Structure formats: C-alpha cells, structure tokens
Amino acid sequence: MVQGIVQGTREAVRFQDAKKDPFVREFDMGLAQPLSRSVRLNGFATCLRLEQVYWDILARMAKINCCSVSALLSYVDREVHLRHGGVKNFSGLVRVVCVVHSLNEDACSVE
C-alpha cells in the first residue's frame, strides 16, 4: 500500500511538467456534486444518481432531440435491452453515453 502511495506521489510530481493541467483554475466543484432525480424509464419510476455535470449533458442531449431527459433515458434503457440484453450498471452506462456524446461534439467542432 505504501509503495503505491509513493509511486502515485512520484507520478504526480512528474505530471507538474505537463503542458495542460486537467484541473482547470475555474473548476466548478458543483459539477462533481452527486444529485439524485426521479425519472420514468419506459413507464417505471426509478431514481438515478449522477453528478451534476452528467445531468447538464443529458439536458443538452434532450434539447438537441426535442424531448425530455426522461424520454432520452427511456430510449437508452430500451436500446441497451434490445441490443445487449440489458446492463448491470445503468448509471455507469449513462455516464459513458454522456462522455461519448461530449467527445463526438468536440470532434465535430474541430472539423
């Protein structure tokens, strides 16, 4: 355990020479705050706990698709069941969907 901490410390010291700091100065810690919301997934009420940044991305995705966040999440839930037989960690899947969407948005803005 101690060796892992020492190794991590060495890596952190080396990272200080990095060209771009991933922890930006204006970082909003509120985006990392978990938030639970009640949603309906294909008619079933459930609670989903995600960090605020993911709720923000979902809201943008829903706006792009002219639907509600619940409708968007219902689509994701339905599609994962149809295409892959379901998923054990739906919250994790939603986070990945948000990251992939954001990466695709960034790629489109570069082109």
pLDDT tens-digit readout, 74-105: 999 999 999 999 999 999 999 999 999 999 87
Residue 31 and residue 53 in contact, taking contact as beta carbons nearer than 8 Å? yes
pLDDT tens-digit readout, 56-70: 999 999 999 999 999
Supply the pLDDT for residue 91: 96
Supply the pLDDT for residue 2: 46
CATH class of 25-110: mainly alpha
Token pair of 38, please? 């009640």
pLDDT tens-digit readout, 2-50: 455 545 555 555 656 667 777 777 888 888 899 999 999 989 999 999 9
- The number of beta carbons lying within 10 Å of the beta carbon of residue 111 is 4
Supply the pLDDT for residue 9: 52
Compute the residue count for the chain.
111
Spans of all domains in the chain: 25-110
Which residue's structure tokens are 């706990």? 49
